[in-house]
Amino acid sequence: MLLHKLKSITFWGSLIIAGILLTGAFAPFYGWPLAILTLAYLFFTWQKKAINPKQAACYGWLFGLGFFTSAVSWIYISLYTFGGLPLWLAIFISALLISSLALFPAITGYLLNRIFTPNHKLIYLIAFSCLWVLTEWLRSTLLSGFPWALIAYSQTNSPLAGFIPIFGQFGVSWLVCCAAALLCYLLDFKRTQRIIVFCAFLLLFILGLALQQINWTQPSGKAIKISAIQAFVPQQLKWEAAQFKTNLQTYTQMTEQALALNSDLIIWPESAITLPIQYVDDYLSVWNTRLNKTKKTLLLGLPIQTNTETYYNGLISIGVNHGEYKKRHLVPFGEYPFLYPISKYIIQYFHIPMSNFTPGKSQQVLMQFNQTKLANYICYEIAFEKLVLSDFPQANLIINISDDSWFGHSLAAWQQVQIGQFRAIETGRYAIFATNDGITAMSNPKGDFVKTLPRYQKAILTTKAIPMTGKTPIMIMNSRTVLLGIILLLLLGYYWISIKKFFKMLC
């Protein structure tokens, strides 16, 4: 009896460890094979170890617990270090959120073993891949959505990255799950069948590598010399009134350095200025005149106030080009009163600055730098595929400004920049990431970093980006079509099993 309990505890622990190892597939580790290996282990437990759907759900929850505890542990930092919550409450809220996120793999396991059977191996493989993707979609949509650490994002440096411009995030997640199940089946089939499975597994990666050689987009103009300012203003001081002038002086000095480098486009990060435009109108007017004379443009993040009660988390351009962008997908609690009036007390307790923003319109006129159209995103907006793809193929260049100093020395900034790399591959565009304390970087259309800055120091990233034009297949199909295809596959698998059962009854 005791030995049996020890075996059970060891097995449960192995699922948690597998979930933790899955985090290693993502940035900054970039160990993409771990996504396939850990999902293969989870698939094996659902196929071989789960006696019933409830047990499969339990295994999925343990796996999810390990994964989300390690992948999004930075939530605790924002609550405790910067939110000022008592230690016990920060741990409780973090644990509650992580436990809730772990329910999505649990739902996958439950439905997989409730509706399908491991005896129909091909259909079980397809069902596993489809259900995993559908629960990822659910997580990306439910209660404003949390599309963080989707399996597809781990494949930016993998051969499967060749599929990103074709199928997008949900299609690539599906392929990763297929690869994991095929790997598991290599241990389960007879020799002849193993050869077929191995060839199918190998074909996925060969095809992915071949697709990476295709350039879906092409240059549409001259290279633009860009400088992204990483001012490294500590989060504790950023919103202090007494620190405001000092912060402006920092940005002024660093922008002067960027102008000395003859940069055409200069970018400040999210909320570089913490007051609405009308409070810094004189300061911006001086810069506008200066930039017009030198034929330069400055993009900067700041709140935009349209009346006494309406504020937007925004991005404006001054100098040769004028425009504005209002953030469309806001962060719950941090930027708007989600689940009001509960959020009212959270915001008051945290003393969260500028926490009652209004979302911008879903369709906005794209900002421009001369003839180049810019796809602008603030912070984690870059994670929402539908929102990003709505700006293409019109946009020629991606610009993502953010401030991840809310999450300290954690994985959050690396995970976000990897999502940005995914978007660069998906759209076939260069992407510039301008942040307060890192990671400030530029990615090319293949998702490779052209240049990066070290974190936690004042620095200027200066490089050249080429405006790109053209359509990738996912722009034509869009993510909705991919999801419909996945749902159709799932239904076909279900009805095939039902038809076989029906004919068996007749016989």
Q: Which residues are catalytic?
A: 270, 327, 379
CB atoms under 10 Å from CB of 211, counted, come to 18
Chain-centre distance for alpha carbon 135: 16
Residues of 444-464 as b/e, b for ≥16 C-beta within 10 angstroms?
A: bbbbeeeebbebeeebbbbbe
Lookup: tokens for 474: 């996912």
Rounded distance, CA 457 to CA 468, Å? 31
The neighbouring-strand residues paired with 76 are none
Dihedral, CA of residue 71, residue 267, residue 79 and residue 274, to nearest 10: -170
H or E stretch including 295?
none
Closest CA to 179 of 154, 203, 144, 143: 203
CA distance 150 to 325: 27
Task: Kindly give the residue spans of alpha helices, DSSP state H, lying in 231-271.
Answer: 235-238, 244-260
As beta bridge partners, residue 374 has: 367, 397
